[in-house]
Amino acid sequence: METPPVLVDTRGRVGLITLNRPRQLNALSDALMDALGAALLAFDADPGIGAIVIAGGPKAFAAGADISAMADWSYMDVYQGEFITRNWETIRRVRKPVLAAVAGLALGGGCELALACDIVVAAESARFGLPEVKLAMLPGAGGTQRLPRAIGKAKAMDMCLSARQLDAAEADRWGLVSRVVPDEALLDATLALAAEIAAYSLPALMAIKESVNRAWESSLSEGIAYERRALYARFASADAHEGMQAFLAKRRPQFSHR
Ligand code: DAK
């Protein structure tokens, strides 16, 4: 039987997707990205799921796009086949929080995949890099766009032009990751964080994610206007009233995710 390129599991309200090509250091083949996209969309559509974790292996989160597949592609292959856009961009359609649990190498497309997640929890062994320049390629799955927004132009240029790798502590200092934990605690810590998030009201989480993402893609005044509308819409949510009533009554809120 063929090994599935991703493994899918649920832990309460958390959906767990594990990249599963350890012998290729989780190189992101088309089959893997198709399976990842399908798993993400299935969890996004499942009302029992409030947050999603993408994990790799202990040696590599992912070592990038699959070079063995790309080596012979022509311009027409990638243009007509809509390489990257066709399946890598699926993650942008996911409305629930997505957390990356990164141990070991997150290189090229692997780093870009982590950058596309909402929260990155890094193990101490994590290494982030965009080594495409060594192949005379360029980071083409959002790396040249998301990295400068995440860590600023000077640091992003350094990483993209010199293929410099960041260790977990540097990545934490520069704002590329959210938290750093010991390797042996990575999965449990990420799942615990995801469970904590997933227990909050789902429509509130979705509205927060939409609003924070707006900060990347609009001017401040447009972003503030968007945020204000999102806040007003909270008053149409049963959970927001429940949350405030529970606070006043000094009890735990019972969210219905409505
Ligand atoms: N693709 C395919 N196979 C890979 C791979 C990759 N990215 N990375 C590693 N592997 C395979 C190796 O070939 C090896 O396979 P076997 O020889 O055992 O069959 C196996 O995984 C173990 O790797 P190593 O033996 O090399 O392990 P080491 O520990 O010695 O070295 C390494 C680990 C990660 C430093 C090394 O494997 C390495 O440098 N890998 C390549 C990393 C890299 O350059 N990543 C960036 C890929 S380029 C585009 C849009 C986006 C992109 C491109 C185009 N367009 C819109 C056109 C994105 C490009 C990338 O992500």
Residue-level pLDDT, tens digit, the chain, 258 residues: 679 999 999 999 999 999 999 999 999 999 999 999 999 999 999 999 999 999 999 999 999 999 998 899 999 999 998 888 888 899 999 999 999 999 999 999 999 999 999 999 999 999 999 999 999 999 988 999 999 999 999 999 999 999 999 999 999 999 999 999 999 999 999 999 999 999 999 999 999 999 999 998 899 999 999 999 999 999 999 999 999 999 999 999 999 999
| Ligand 1 binding pocket includes 108 (Cβ within 6 Å) | yes
Distance CA(216)–CA(206), nearest Å, equals 16
Residue 132 annotated to the active site:
yes
**What is the token pair recorded at 22?**
């350890």
**What is the token pair recorded at 1?**
């039987």
Chain Cα centroid distance, residue 59: 19
Residue 196 annotated to the active site:
no
Q: For residue 147, give the nearest of 201, 111, 96 by alpha carbon.
A: 111
| Ligand 1 binding pocket includes 107 (Cβ within 6 Å) | yes
Strand order in the sheet with 60-62: 60-62, 105-107, 127-129, 166-167
| Ligand 1 binding pocket includes 105 (Cβ within 6 Å) | yes
